[in-house]
Structure 1
Amino acid sequence: MDDEQVLLPEDVPSQWGSDVIAETIRATGVPYVALNPGASYRGLHDSLVNYLGNRDPQMLLCLHEEHAVAIAHGYAKVTDRPMAAAVHSNVGLMHATMAVFNAYCDRAPMLLLGATGPVDADSRRPWIDWIHTAADQAALVRPYVKWDDQPASVRASAASLLRGNQLTRTHPTAPVYVCFDAAVQEQPFDGRVVVDPARYAPLAESLPSPESVAAAAELLAGAQRPVILAGRGSRDQAEWDRRIALAERLGAPVLTDLKVAAGFPTDHPLHAGTPGLFLSPANNELLRGADVILSLDWLDLGGTLRQATGSAEPQARVVSASVDHQLFNGWTKNDHFLAAVDVSLQSRPDAAVAALLERLPERSPAAAPSPAAAADPVQRPVEATGPTGRLTVSFLTRTLREATRDLPVTLVRTPFAWNPDLWPVRGPLDYLGTDGGGGIGSGPGLAVGAALALAGRERLAVAVLGDGDYVMGVTALWTAARYDIPLLVVVANNNSFFNDELHQDRVARARGRAVENAHVGMRLEGPEPDLAQLASAQGVHGIGPVRTPEELVDAMKRAVDSVLAGRPTVVDVRVERGYSGDTAAAIAERSR
């Protein structure tokens, strides 16, 4: 990665409080710190550059604090490990809060570094230090971080970093926030804080009790109609393979969820139906007929069961592998509807899978299905254009897949209109899920962070974004251009906040009002934003607008060639408004 040259003597002694903080950050092992600079941590900034030499971690300059946090979030989605993001005082933290909430809801590890003006009022500069100092700065994010601290000395700052690093890496993972006093950073410090990172490692993960594993294995072994809900899982290939082995051992159909990263191959014979943001009618029926349901940290288990069974408790016995409850609090309701659970395996879901495989009896090889060579969905006929003559998202998907078919691709994001049947997921890095908190504008930053983590892995990072998400976060792409991070962003541009058009349509119908007005206050028209020019303004290669099938085929080829040459690239594709059949049906059923 490209970086500024740092003039640094061979041996720079530690002389300041921020030098110790910087050295401790290095000890945590985070490779990068994404930041938008600010005076509250000017001492730490100097230490990262002039004491550490801008190495381990390397700074990544961002144009907005929300992008800095989103980039760290995207990095964690690929690696299951944290990087750092730094935000300036209360104002920078307020800019970043949406991205922090996304990362928390997505259970992404992250070392969030902050700073406040001098806590000692006598040390504050007039005006600016006063408005950038808060009595309890972490209160801005405390409901959606795992832990926070504001240490008051140099040694305490080092200890807080070590604890925060330990906690953010311990399952269930989530961001932590450490706020440094500006005066502590800038005080002389002639002592030394020796850190052995091995002594402050993440806490050992909890394992399900033998009794709970035995009870779950008994239910599953005796089930006639088991169903597995594959929710949050790791990006580890061995753990991916064990999930497949468990499903095959049980002969159980598996449901997956587009809100979280890939959990199971979608073209495996045991994968049931089409994954989506909401359960399809067919998958609801499958759940209603199950006699045992195994939830592997399924997002909103209670709400999913309620959607399938109504207000009645499910007839199926429910086994749940999760410790997500450890992050629940009273402020944010991402605890979701309380699920009826018969056996609780209190562990990381992949640890529960391994324990169940050891306990469950083997099936005969003939009884265990194996993946079949299905017809390649890229060959399925799709309509190139829709009723208004615009390109369909299905045709965009097929064209993009054809252009990348010889490359391993990581889908970082997809829009609501995405049809997953046209893009099989076959490995743990094939798809990374959504942003967690439903905050529009996160997509570009997440894409940059994921591409950063994938650099050197010979995988192409591809994000298919909605136009609203893109325009809110487009300046995050400057960081990709600045640090030569290869990335392909395709904007499925329907010139509308279309999901809200559907909401207005629904309200108008319920009230007997004019549905023809549903688009008012929703369309990005008069003028239409020039998305390719917005990309070019960030130093990124911009292509488009693309309006015809022939233009799209050519644009995708040029875009892939551009990214393979090392240049981040954006393609603006003008698409029809609307969703795929399965998505539309699921939304309609959910809205009843």
Structure 2
Amino acid sequence: MPGDGNAEAWPMMGHEWLVRSLRDSGQTHVFFVDAVLRRSLLDMERLGVQPVLAHTEKAAVYMADGYGRVSGRPGIVAAQSVGAANLIAGLQDAWLGRSPVLAITGRKPIGHQHRNAYQEVAHAPLAAPVTKLSAQVQEAADLPRQFRQAWSATVSVPPRPVHLDLNGLMGEFVETTETGEPPAALAGWTAPRHRPQAEPAMLRAAAEALRSSQRIAIVAGDGAALSGCGAALLALAEALRAPVATSLGAHGLIDTRHPLHIGVVGSYSAPPANRILHAAELVLLVGCDTGDQVTHGWRVPRPGTRIVQVDADPLEFERSYATEVALLGDPRAVLEALLPALGGAARDGAFLAEAQGIRAAWHREIAPRLASEAVAIDPARLCAEVTRALPADGILVADTGYSGIWTGTLVDLAPGQTYLRAAGSLGWAFPAALGAKCAAPGRKVVCWSGDGALYYHLPELETAKRRGIAVVLVVNNNSGFGQGWPGYLRQAGNRPAAAEQVLRFGPTDFAGVARQFGLRGIRVEHPRDLAGALAEAVAAEETVVVDVVTDIDCRAPEPWTP
């Protein structure tokens, strides 16, 4: 290997093979909680791969998750045997979010198994629900084959976590045995690794179905975002004169200000998208999983709607809707082939005009809130300011719940910007933002987190400081769990204090907390100060916490329900 002075040292110890393979595969960071792979971690520092020590295994996984979503290469995360259960619990979001993550754990050797070994539980049953592959690695001789298999599996469609369970509490038996194989160089294996094309007969059938209807809507999902099919999607939508909705995970796949864009659809949506989609005669689903969130409980599209579906994963067909035409292939490749198959048939555009009218009316309705001068601050105004502050190539990372709804409905995004969202794990966003920044050091990363979410992984402020990872952490600080607040108040009736005891906390000055960690903190209590605070934070080369005092009684947009 160039520059390491030890290129022809055969056979090679397991820890050397692993680190050189990570380096030669383009990995810049590995996220971990001690004690695991100690020889490997020391080698990483020498060979240019940065080990990032986190304060919890779940935070380390979320960092690897953010890294994987931005880079397309698997985020690498490691923990010793006793930390495996915590690490594996963190893989749930990567599994649901279709993210490439390679998790490495140590395990007690076979001679210690089933003998009440200290801190040991079986790892395979824990990993089974949240990994595509979970395998035991006995010694370094097995590592090259299993490493390549795991990497290949995690970047294939759908990208999802994989798990290698290394022999030894800290993986030491794999580190200290030998392999005669050269290090792997897998930098070209990125998600999605394969881009299969649909059958010509199915393309013709889909084109015929699309030509037969004038009331077509398109829904692009997380699989479409993975494929990077924004340009092809927009070209097809323009040819069909069809409005385009996205899942939350595909927010920003096309310019959210484009006349064809109608917003995020489903349970985490503003009213227009569901209403428009429900009125469609035919819906083209592109890399969209048809789960309950994106379909608002399987009510949108309405039952009986004609469905043409494009997906690289055959298991997504017929899950929730009967499919008139199913196109198996990479969304970008399929859409690029489908466009010429459509021909030049004229479209009347009436349905698109109807959709644009609905969207425009809602924009007029929400506009006053985007400019609100209210104190405490309306999060809608914060959304407007984040839209203006996010650089042209910026990455916006949003937590789950209300963080996803606020950003998915009211933050506009343009091509070149990237949106990452939690697939359901509260507290995911901040560590994931750190991982995203590690994968894209030249891009600005803005994290939107509620205060309730931030409490999960607040200690990672120390990680950001120690490792010099610069993100903008925007805290929507309303001293409580805002999404569930009205429901609890209603149920409490004449006992509002009971509701407060359940869902309110703080108030906490997170700007002051940031300063205790040695970071910059900016407290914002008035809307007029938002733009300046965000500009200062984005310009900084360190993590800056922008603590925004918001009104818990301000409601995010509500989905339209049939």
1:260-301: CA deviations, max 9, x gaps? 443222111111256675345543332232121111122435
Structure 1 counterpart of 2:534, which letter? M
1:120-158: CA deviations, max 9, x gaps? 339x9x99xx22444x31321210111110022322122
Instruction: Determine whether 1:315 maps to 2:304.
Output: yes
Question: 1:340: how far off?
Answer: 2.2
Question: 1:24: how far off?
Answer: 3.9
Question: 1:416: how far off?
Answer: 4.9
In the other structure, the counterpart of 2:144 is 158
Instruction: Determine whether 1:460 maps to 2:444.
Output: yes
Describe the shift of the 1:198–1:445 C-alpha distance in structure 2 as closer, same or farther (beyond 3 A): closer
Deviates more, 1:109-118 or 1:360-369: 360-369
1:61 aligned to 44, 49, 53, which one? 53
Describe the shift of the 1:585–1:83 C-alpha distance in structure 2 as closer, same or farther (beyond 3 A): closer
2:129 aligned to 136, 143, 146, which one? 143
Structure 1 Cα separation of the partners of residues 460 and 555 of structure 2: 29
Structure 2 counterpart of 1:549, which letter? P
Question: 1:543: how far off?
Answer: 1.8
Describe the shift of the 1:407–1:504 C-alpha distance in structure 2 as closer, same or farther (beyond 3 A): same
Instruction: Determine whether 1:46 maps to 2:39.
Output: yes
1:11 aligned to 6, 14, 28, which one? 6
Structure 2 Cα separation of the partners of residues 185 and 237 of structure 1: 36
Structure 1 counterpart of 2:547, which letter? D
Do the aligned residues in 1 keep the contact of 2:314 with 2:328 (CA within 8 Å)? no
2:545 aligned to 551, 567, 570, which one? 570
Question: 1:440: how far off?
Answer: 1.0
Describe the shift of the 1:336–1:410 C-alpha distance in structure 2 as closer, same or farther (beyond 3 A): farther
2:104 aligned to 109, 113, 123, which one? 113
1:522 aligned to 478, 487, 503, which one? 503
Describe the shift of the 1:73–1:60 C-alpha distance in structure 2 as closer, same or farther (beyond 3 A): same
Question: 1:495: how far off?
Answer: 0.3
Structure 1 counterpart of 2:137, which letter? P
Describe the shift of the 1:284–1:356 C-alpha distance in structure 2 as closer, same or farther (beyond 3 A): same
In the other structure, the counterpart of 1:494 is 478
Describe the shift of the 1:36–1:266 C-alpha distance in structure 2 as closer, same or farther (beyond 3 A): same
Aligned to 2:284, what secondary structure does the other structure show? Answer: strand
Question: Which runs of 5 or more residues in structure 2 are unaligned?
Answer: none
Alignment of 1:229-308 (within 5 A): 229-233=219-223, 239-272=229-262, 277-301=267-291, 304-305=294-295, 307=297
1:547-581: CA deviations, max 9, x gaps? 22344444334323xxx241110011110114546
Structure 1 Cα separation of the partners of residues 348 and 439 of structure 2: 40
Instruction: Determine whether 1:547 maps to 2:525.
Output: yes
Question: 1:476: how far off?
Answer: 2.3
Question: 1:420: how far off?
Answer: 5.2
In the other structure, the counterpart of 1:331 is none
Structure 2 Cα separation of the partners of residues 200 and 239 of structure 1: 19
1:334-372: CA deviations, max 9, x gaps? x9962222222222322322231242214679989999x
Structure 1 Cα separation of the partners of residues 80 and 197 of structure 2: 39
Structure 1 counterpart of 2:215, which letter? R
Describe the shift of the 1:15–1:346 C-alpha distance in structure 2 as closer, same or farther (beyond 3 A): closer
Do the aligned residues in 1 keep the contact of 2:224 with 2:288 (CA within 8 Å)? no
Describe the shift of the 1:274–1:239 C-alpha distance in structure 2 as closer, same or farther (beyond 3 A): closer
Deviates more, 1:205-214 or 1:173-182: 205-214
1:424 aligned to 387, 406, 412, which one? 412
1:172-212: CA deviations, max 9, x gaps? 111111111025225443x5213564799576343322222
Describe the shift of the 1:251–1:407 C-alpha distance in structure 2 as closer, same or farther (beyond 3 A): closer
Aligned to 2:6, what secondary structure does the other structure show? Answer: coil
Question: 1:28: how far off?
Answer: 4.1
Structure 2 Cα separation of the partners of residues 552 and 313 of structure 1: 41
Question: 1:401: how far off?
Answer: 4.0
Aligned to 1:131, what secondary structure does the other structure show? Answer: coil
In the other structure, the counterpart of 1:32 is 29
Question: 1:408: how far off?
Answer: 4.0
Do the aligned residues in 1 keep the contact of 2:270 with 2:409 (CA within 8 Å)? no
Describe the shift of the 1:102–1:54 C-alpha distance in structure 2 as closer, same or farther (beyond 3 A): farther
Structure 1 Cα separation of the partners of residues 42 and 553 of structure 2: 49
Do the aligned residues in 2 keep the contact of 1:284 with 1:308 (CA within 8 Å)? no
Aligned to 2:500, what secondary structure does the other structure show? Answer: coil
Aligned to 1:518, what secondary structure does the other structure show? Answer: helix
Deviates more, 1:533-542 or 1:93-102: 533-542
Structure 1 Cα separation of the partners of residues 498 and 71 of structure 2: 45
Describe the shift of the 1:81–1:579 C-alpha distance in structure 2 as closer, same or farther (beyond 3 A): farther
TM-score (norm 1): 0.81
Question: 1:162: how far off?
Answer: 0.8
1:435 aligned to 403, 422, 438, which one? 422
Structure 1 Cα separation of the partners of residues 296 and 397 of structure 2: 30
Structure 1 counterpart of 2:181, which letter? V
Aligned to 1:521, what secondary structure does the other structure show? Answer: helix
Structure 1 counterpart of 2:33, which letter? N
Describe the shift of the 1:49–1:247 C-alpha distance in structure 2 as closer, same or farther (beyond 3 A): same
In the other structure, the counterpart of 1:225 is 215
TM-score (norm 2): 0.84
Structure 2 Cα separation of the partners of residues 143 and 132 of structure 1: 22
Do the aligned residues in 2 keep the contact of 1:145 with 1:174 (CA within 8 Å)? yes
In the other structure, the counterpart of 1:559 is 537
Structure 2 counterpart of 1:348, which letter? D
Describe the shift of the 1:391–1:47 C-alpha distance in structure 2 as closer, same or farther (beyond 3 A): closer
In the other structure, the counterpart of 2:434 is 448
Question: Which runs of 5 or more residues in structure 1 are unaligned?
Answer: 1-7, 329-334
Describe the shift of the 1:324–1:480 C-alpha distance in structure 2 as closer, same or farther (beyond 3 A): farther
Question: 1:45: how far off?
Answer: 2.7
In the other structure, the counterpart of 1:473 is 457
Structure 1 Cα separation of the partners of residues 515 and 314 of structure 2: 44
Do the aligned residues in 1 keep the contact of 2:269 with 2:409 (CA within 8 Å)? no
In the other structure, the counterpart of 2:333 is 351
